[in-house]
Structure 1
């Protein structure tokens, strides 16, 4: 609300029923400038070449449970071949129904990502949340069967 001085009112103030939007526009312009400056700072577009991790792999349990996905999309739990429908049953037998057992997934590098996620979804739906991914260690420090790395992804 504002007041106007009119020359014919003998100096009396009259009410102004128009909304003064100038302060609102000023505030909006300040906010626009702040967001224009802050938005580019919130994204990271700097190309960085990350180093290879050289940490020692954690100790595995004495009898780990491995799920293997071959390049022909065949599944096996340990040495026992299985299907997607029977995967939760075979994992339950291998872990003796202990849901806190860590399960390692070994997949051929040619396995489609969707197939890998399908196996993880079956495990998650059955309550197995400790899942580790297995790959080859580039240094080859851990001998034996191809130098397995540590669990890359814990859910």
Structure 2
């Protein structure tokens, strides 16, 4: 006569497969995020007088190769730029500003424009660039 052992019911869940799956998913997310965050090389486009605005309230500030500043398509000095932005900010609380600088413009000139935008209190600010296509 053989003695049969009584089988105990499982009262614990085996979590090892779930941990393996979680670690594999974590590795996949890390790899995909790392691949997506790599630096994108950009070429800043040349300034143009034709401005394509996404919204009617968007202001475009363009700095050409000689350092001349344009608000939309009108040439302004740095002081006139600040005055006009303050006037527009008084009438329209929230408006986006897009800064386009020629690729040979001195960086200091662009920083002056960004400083004016900061003093005026512009929250929505964008820099226009051209995406480099991989070869």
TM interval, shorter chain, is: 0.5 to 0.7
Cα separation, partners in 2 of 1:124 and 1:51, compared to 1, 3 Å:
closer
Alignment length, in residue pairs?
A: 86
1:112 aligns with 2:106: yes
Gaps of 5+ in 2: 1-36, 42-52
Residue 116 of structure 2 is matched in structure 1 by 122
More relative contact order in 1 or in 2 (CA 8 Å, sep 6+)? 2
Q: Decide which structure has the larger Cα Rg and report it.
A: 1
Residue 125 of structure 2 is matched in structure 1 by 131
1:50 aligns with 2:44: no
Residue 83 of structure 1 is matched in structure 2 by 77
**SS of residue paired to 1:118:** helix
CA RMSD, Structure 1 to Structure 2 (Å): 2.7
Q: Which has the higher helix share?
A: 2
Residue 19 of structure 1 is matched in structure 2 by none
TM-score with structure 2 length normalisation?
Answer: 0.53
Distance 2:92 2:108 in 1: 27
Gaps of 5+ in 1: 1-48, 54-58, 140-155
Q: CA deviation at 1:52?
A: 4.1
Distance 1:51 1:125 in 2: 30
Q: Is the 8 A contact 1:99 1:129 kept in 2?
A: no
Cα separation, partners in 2 of 1:135 and 1:74, compared to 1, 3 Å:
same
TM-score with structure 1 length normalisation?
Answer: 0.47
